[in-house]
Amino acid sequence: MAPLAPDAGPPPPGGEGPAAGAGRAGPATGTPPRPGGAPAAPPAEEAAPAAEDTGLLAPVRAGVPAEAAVTDQAWLHAMLAAEAALARAQARLGTIPERAADTITRAAAATRIEPRLLALASRETANPVVPLVKEFTREVAALDAAAAEYVHRGSTSQDILDTATMLVTAHALRLIRGDLHRTAQALARLARTHRDTLATARTLALHALPTTFGLKAASWRQLIQDALTRTDRLLDGGLPVSLGGAAGTLAGYLEHATAADPASYTEDLTLAFATETGLATPDLPWHSLRTPIADTAAVLAFTAGALGKFAIDVQTLTRTEIGEVTEPTRPGRGSSSAMPHKRNPVLSTLIRSTALQVPALAATLFHCLLSEDERSAGAWHAEWQPLREALRLVGGAAHTAAALAEGLRTDPERMRHNTGLTQGRMLAERVAAALTPHLGRARAKALLSEAADEASRTGRTLAEALAAAGELAPHQALVGPLLDPAHYTGAAAPLVDRALPPRADS
């Protein structure tokens, strides 16, 4: 009985299952009113048409692997995988016949259950596991009536759905991790290539000091590496199975193993369930201890922000008046519906849209830590859609970021040109520091501030403004060599070396 490894994800998902729709719109003339003016309600058995979520309003994740990993179909397969894994775990301990576990596993792999039917039935049960167990038991019974008696034995809805959630989450996070690694590798290559490429550092939106483009790229990579570290920690630390029974005491499981010692049996069952799913073992049942969800939310929010930082800087550097980088192009990408000349930075735009949405989704998941009693009426249910949306948005952003980093085009000549736009004023700090031993720190800073203001106001270079300052006449020979921005990048190049791993392909 082979375990389901989360590296491989839940059983191969199909297309997006249709989600439960909102109410069905009536005809243009409106629903005929009841006496007294109240609109007539549709018949109770009449369901609204299925509303398929194609990603029309979320292009960042449309068609990417992470989107397919979290569809309704993927969640359904993961729930069935959890049911099958539980049966195999119980068979390991002799609680149910091994033949029954084999039949349940075969039925789970061959199911024909439709997610839409479960969604509609869930309106009567508040979660999809209740109707799933009913339909799945019928499918098992069609193979072996005796085996059907052991479906969901001693379990509860939250054990199955939470375990399925961890399977889906692990699969999606592994996809995200792969794309983060690609992004980090591409940014490392950019940083090495442009280790000494002169560029402008901007603070509070304005030109500040000279830097190198390599240090910019290394800084983007550092955030991506930080996201990778957090993702690795979450995955390697282990997303746990959920096994608590109806109220977190595992009483239902023990009821079917009356000869076993409660402490050892529940520990052995949890370990066997974890082994069969490839997930970790929790310290306690976590029905209302939502640490795994909160940890996932934190990782997703951080990752969205890390990707967003890269994206927003690219947006800035692609501005027409800056033009230091260009997004990778292909026919049709970045086109405008109105302006033929436009090539919009669509990749960074999509990534940034994720960075703006995911923190709010993560906040909802953190709110769900407020789960009352041993199982919550509402907080648990409120997790499902925000978690799915966060996973697929971050998955889409990571996939997009890899393409952006791998294809980003740079213009070193434009970078150098832009360092001269302030006509030497970004070297004022350096000149002030050099004059401090001669004039004192306060006076040197004041003179450079006055000269910079004069240069800005009159359109002269900083060198010309300094030459006109009589007080600096004795020091002109000192000032001249200080005004080359290429010689004032500080430790930018060594910082790149320090930030990057030694291997050229990392």
Distinct helix (H) and strand (E) counts, the chain: 19, 4
Angle at CA 278, nearest 5°, toward 276 and 283? Answer: 95
Give the N- to C-terminal CA distance of the chain in Å, as an integer.
38
In terms of Cα–Cα distance, which of 116, 54, 4 is closest to 392?
Answer: 54
With beta carbons less than 8 A apart as the criterion, state whether 220 and 310 touch: yes
- 198's CB contacts (< 8 A; 6+ apart) are 210, 212, 213, 412, 415, 416, 419, 485, 486, 489
Residues serving a catalytic function are: 336, 375
Question: How many residues does this entry show for the chain?
Answer: 506
The tokens for 281 are 């073992």
Angle at CA 86, nearest 5°, toward 82 and 87? Answer: 120
For 81-126, the three-class secondary structure string (H helix, E strand, C coil) is HHHHHHHHHHHHCCCCCHHHHHHHHHHHHCCCCCHHHHHHHHCCCC
Return the H-helix or E-strand segment holding 474: none
Q: How far apart are CA 403 and CA 187, in angstroms?
A: 11
Across 369-384, b (16+ Cβ under 10 Å) vs e yields eebeeebbeebbeebb
With beta carbons less than 8 A apart as the criterion, state whether 50 and 18 touch: yes
SS3 call for 410: strand
Return the H-helix or E-strand segment holding 128: none
